[in-house]
Amino acid sequence: MNVPANMSALDAALKVLQDAGKPLHYREITKRVLANGLWQTAGKTPDATINARLAVDVKKNGSASAFRRAGRGVFALNTERTDTMPNPTDIVRTETRSLYLVRPKSGETLSFTDSAERILEAAGGQPMHYRDITSLALEHGMLDTAGKTPEATMYAQLLTECKRRRGRGEQPRFLILGKGMISLAKWQAKGLAFQVEEANRKARKDLLKAVKEMPPGDFEDLIGRLLAAIGFDEVEVTNRSKDGGIDVRGTLVVGDVIRTRLAVQVKRWKQNVQSPVIQQVRGSLGAHEQGLIITTSDFSKGAKDEAERADATPVGLMDGEQLVALLVENEIGVRRTPLQLIEIGETLNAGRSPTA
């Protein structure tokens, strides 16, 4: 068999399906690809990588793809293409085109966790190793990183996000399956964990509703408690007679080293906050102060653009969902029930000798 140099995963899959003359499961495609030396990878889950590449190509290119789905996990050649089926040595650009379709528009890049979500989404529920996820993210141009260990960064950020979301009573986007394997949590939407998330989602919704119905003074006091809980010092709720001005002032302390004075305006509103409010807060800032607006609703696009205007002091924005997440994370207005799930760990036999 003549093997083209530098054959890509899609090239190799196409060659295998052409030689087979019939649909194949992606695991069988991967087996034949590797057995014939058509494609090389350092990843630990090559079958998941092949599945993801094929799924992305079919989804993004549709009837123009060289492939089609023939069943769950089964792929075949797309014989209904109106153009000529390319030879394996000629389709590198086809794969590159599909990769650009899944990357962010206008040359923007994604965060490590957002790129992982997009890749796992394309994998259709198939778990993948974090090294393979990182490799695909870099290949697809999703990440722009100068770090020397992007795989370690990917895994660390996935773990950190899962821990933080659990702390906020939110369903993590990812499932950490052990041995570096990652999956999307939404593919596991069943069982006790799913029921707990549904209950937590309702509780967060009810909490936001209760916050919106609080008297203005109580709401400002609540924000003062929250700021103190997340690391603010010298928190002071200002004179409530000054409606429309700064409601809370405090100093954000980071590591007992960095101290940032913040002036906070709170908006217990149903409608979105508009850009004039951003300008008003910016005009009320004292010397060496930064602004923060906390609302129970959301911010208009104009307000977000105004808050980030390059030639002015930036103003931080916190919407209703972010507010509720922080309240839950710091157990303000909620209490946690001691629900614990016990699972058998992968290190049950760790430390035992093979002959024990």
User: Over 70: is that where the pLDDT of 282 sits?
Assistant: yes
Distances in Å between the Cα of 319 and the Cα atoms of 259, 272, 297, 316 are 24, 9, 6, 10
Q: Is the C-alpha dihedral spanning 265, 271, 275, 276 positive or negative?
A: negative
Three-state DSSP at 258 gives strand
Residue with tokens 């209490």: 335
Tell me: the pLDDT tens digits for 208-247? 999 999 888 888 889 888 988 888 888 888 765 554 478 8
pLDDT tier at 275 (50, 70, 90 boundaries)?
very high
User: Over 50: is that where the pLDDT of 93 sits?
Assistant: no
Closest among 45, 49, 85 to 68, alpha carbons compared: 85
DSSP secondary structure, 258-303, as one string: EEEEEEEEEE--SSPBPHHHHHHHHHT--TTEEEEEEESS-B-HHH
Residue with tokens 């850009």: 275
* Token pair recorded at residue 169: 């009573």
pLDDT tier at 294 (50, 70, 90 boundaries)?
very high
Average of per-residue pLDDT across 307-324 = 90
- Percent residues over pLDDT 90 in the chain: 16
- Which residues, at least 6 apart from 16, have a Cβ–Cβ distance to it below 8 Å? 24, 29, 32, 33, 36, 38
Average pLDDT, the chain: 79
Fold type of domain 211-329: Trna Endonuclease; Chain: A, domain 1 (3.40.1350)
pLDDT tier at 349 (50, 70, 90 boundaries)?
low
d(CA 55, CA 101): 13
Question: Going edge to edge, which strands form the sheet with 315-318?
Answer: 232-237, 248-254, 258-267, 289-295, 315-318
